[in-house]
Amino acid sequence: MVEGSWPGSVVLIEFPGPAEARAWYESPAYQEILRLCTDHIEGDLILVEGVGPGYDPTEGARKLRAADPEGYAGSPEDRAGSAAPAA
C-alpha cells in the first residue's frame, strides 16, 4: 500500500458499462450463489464506472481545485512550496 490500509486481496471484473454490471449482479445465476459469497467471504462489492480513453487526470484535478479552492489542501510538496519564506 502506498496510502491507507488494505485488508486483503481484490477481485476486479470489467464490464462494458454500468448497465451490464448491474445486470450481472441482478442475474438469477449470480443471485443463486450470492449467499455463498456473503456467508463465506468478508468484503464489499462496489460498482464503479470507469473513465474513457480521453480522460485527463490533470484536467480533472484542475476542475476539482477550481470548484473548491479553499478546501484544496494539496500534497505535502504543494504546501511546502506555498509557505512564506522565513524572515
Domain that includes residue 23, residue range: 9-49
Residue 16 lies in a domain: yes
Report the C-alpha gap between 15 and 57 in whole angstroms: 22
Half-sphere exposure of 32 (CA within 13 A, CB side): 3
- Give the chain's domain count: 1
pLDDT in the model for residue 22: 95
DSSP per-residue letters across 13-71? ---SSHHHHHHHHHSHHHHHHHHHHHHH------------TT--HHHHHHHHHHH-TTT
pTM of the model: 0.55
CA pair distance 30, 12, nearest whole angstrom: 16
Note the pLDDT tens digit of each residue in 30-54: 999 999 988 998 888 888 888 888 8
Q: Looking at the domain assignment, is residue 38 inside a domain?
A: yes
- The rounded average pLDDT for each run of 10 residues, N- to C-terminus, in the chain (87 residues) is 81 90 96 92 86 88 87 61 51
